[in-house]
Amino acid sequence: MTDLRKFGPKTDLSTNTGECLGCKQPFKIGDYTTLIPVGPGDNPESQKKCREGKSYNAVAIEIHWACATGETE
């Protein structure tokens, strides 16, 4: 897995208020999260770079830091 970056804590200004795909719990103020890259998405240039093993802008999903790493905040 790639090196993950820890984001947070979430504030009342945070834009993602959905739920974590790891635990199905909603994101809330005070949570720490990370982004899990899943691939190039539908961008032709990113798809080409991905196939060639080059760096590209990936589509990512946000999940709780603890769901991704097992580490508590």
| Per-residue pLDDT reduced to its tens digit, 2-45 | 589 999 999 988 887 799 999 999 999 999 999 999 999 999 99
pTM: 0.79
Residue 23: other Cβ atoms inside 10 A: 11
| Alpha helices, DSSP H, located in 1-73 | 44-51, 65-69
| Tokens matching residue 2 | 């790639």
Count of C-beta atoms within a 10 Å radius of residue 33: 24
Q: With beta carbons less than 8 A apart as the criterion, state whether 8 and 65 touch.
A: yes
pLDDT at 72 > cutoff 80? no
CA separation for the pair 21, 47 (Å, rounded): 24
